[in-house]
């Protein structure tokens, strides 16, 4: 699977509205057949930063995502709300599901 982590920094006046601003892109991406997850979190260390963790089944699913209409729309519509270009880590991992964190096993 392809696993992507990205950091988004909305302009200060848009920080609180970011979930709504990105909602259409988020919902359309989650509906893609190859999307395994697409989850936003707000940083505790940097409250003006949102962290996106997303995963796609394989290279074909990743390619379909970046070629989708909603991706092209987001590329045009989202940057004016951002104070900086998002940072990204893009890697491949085995499997298609989350694994348990054995070091913190709950019994």
In order of their start, the domains of the chain are: 2-93 (3.30.70.100)
What does the mean pLDDT of the chain come to? 97
Q: Say whether pTM exceeds 0.85.
A: yes
* pLDDT score at 57: 97
pLDDT of residue 81: 98
- Judged against a pLDDT cut of 90, whether residue 58 lies above it is answered with yes
* pLDDT more than 90, % of the chain: 99
What mean pLDDT do residues 41-70 have? 97
The DSSP symbol for 85 reads: P
How much is the pLDDT for 82?
A: 98
Rounded Cα distance between 88 and 22, Å, is 17
For residues 19 and 21, give the distance between their C-alpha atoms in angstroms, rounded to a whole number.
Answer: 6
Kind of pairing, strands 2-8 and 87-92? antiparallel
Q: According to the model, what pLDDT value does residue 107 have?
A: 86
């Amino acid at each position: 699977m392809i696993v992507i982590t990205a950091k988004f920094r909305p302009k200060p006046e848009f920080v609180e509205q970011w979930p709504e601003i990105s909602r259409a892109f988020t919902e359309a991406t989650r509906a893609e057949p190859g999307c395994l997850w697409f989850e936003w979190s707000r940083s505790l260390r940097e409250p003006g930063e949102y962290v996106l963790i997303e995963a796609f089944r394989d290279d074909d699913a990743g390619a379909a995502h970046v070629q989708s209409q909603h991706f092209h729309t987001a590329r045009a519509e989202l940057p004016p709300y951002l104070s900086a270009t998002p940072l990204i880590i893009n890697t491949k991992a085995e499997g298609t599901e989350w694994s348990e964190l054995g070091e913190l096993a709950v019994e």
